[in-house]
Amino acid sequence: MPKRKDIQSYEKLSIVHYFNELKCLNIEMSKGELKKTVANKYNCSIRTVERILKEFNDLKEKSPTESVDFHSNMKKRPGRPCKLTEPIKKKIRHENKEGNFSPSYRTLAVKVNLCKSTAYNYCKRMGCTTMTQRVKPKIDSAQMKERLRYVLNLRDGRSFRFKAQYNVVHVDESWFYLYQEKRVLRLFPEDKAPEPGRVQHKSHIQKIMFICAVARPRPEDNFDGKIYISRIQHLKSAKRNSINHNRGDVYLADCNITSELFFVYMKEIMQAVKIKMQRFRNEPIIIQFDGAGPHKGKGNLENLNRIGKLFGWNIQFIIQPPQSPDLNVNDLGFFRSLKMRVNNLKNNGQTTDLLSERVMEAWNSYDANTLERIWGVQYEVYREIMKNKGEINFSNPRLSRKIGDSNVNLEFDQQVFNEAKNSVK
């Protein structure tokens, strides 16, 4: 039988009472059989049951008129007593709060007049934990209401469920860097650290931008949710001779997104949507992106909505609420997940072309189940926005348990919905 932890005093009393109860009810059972039954119930050995019964009888003989207290017989913890008193605890908490909950142990030790190791041990004894906090977008009351209206409009009819959003496509761009400024290595004693990447300056690391469009996977239609990804480049003419080009040569060069480029890429995304989402040809298809300047500039939104209605399709282009990256699956988790896979594949690559190949390799191997889990987190964000009345200052939600075979839970609380609805009136 595996060794179990120390038995608490209340468990000892329970063992004694259960033994006496069995003894009264089962007159024909021997003491050995009774002890074995008790040991099986409490997952301990027969010898432990005998020791507890003997301990109970000894305590009863010493004080027959008083109730048995196993605490009085417990040995004290060996070693020097801890000097962490309530005044010290109060002072540590106060100085930690004064330091905006992030002073170093050295600073905290000086403030509390302790050595650094003692301050560390006291914090651990007090149950101190650490968490990572990232900056959040600045948001005003009007933007909070817009975020809340966006989520409330996702209600499916009059039920207390969100729409499944199989006809929704999220589009966004992101930079992919050739080198990570900082990375954590796992080395064994016989391993040697690899050579770090070399750059002219850490603020000028080579990078390339990709534009990406994803939707919810539909395994029953053999659709993995991946619609489109492309490296953002434009045609450029060489102004002088170099080792790469002759003067006047036209070549593709990496660049940031512009209104003209965004319109070109969105037309390509529209074609990819028509190929991969044929199921929704007779239904509205919504393509969502953020309100960055190049996305809205030069009448892009109006022109795209006009083109989306051609040839019997009903493709609508909408802009997500401002200051709300958590309402786009790409910003919420997909780009971060994809970059982790790219970093594992590129193996300290030396060129942007090699980085581009690795991005495409990671994209092609990206599985639908992971993307569906990110959509599951997206619905958790919807519930948090509803609960917090549009506020963005909430902890990153974690995925709830599976609902059947899906990672996505569409249900929400009726009371929370009604309160959120009243707050935007």
53-74 residue pLDDT tens: 888 888 878 777 677 776 655 5
pTM score of the predicted model: 0.76
242-252 residue pLDDT tens: 888 888 888 88
- Examine the pLDDT at 3 and tell me if it is beyond 80: no
Q: What is the pLDDT of residue 148?
A: 95
Give the mean pLDDT of the chain. Answer: 88
Domain-wise residue ranges, the chain: 9-73, 86-125, 141-185+204-228+259-423
Least confident of 79-83, 86-90, 421-425: 79-83
CA angle 332, 333, 337 (to 5 degrees): 160
pLDDT band for position 4 (cuts 50, 70, 90):
low
- Examine the pLDDT at 405 and tell me if it is beyond 70: no
Q: What is the pLDDT of residue 72?
A: 54
- Examine the pLDDT at 395 and tell me if it is beyond 90: no
- Examine the pLDDT at 345 and tell me if it is beyond 60: yes
- Examine the pLDDT at 255 and tell me if it is beyond 80: yes
CATH number of 141-185+204-228+259-423: 3.30.420.10
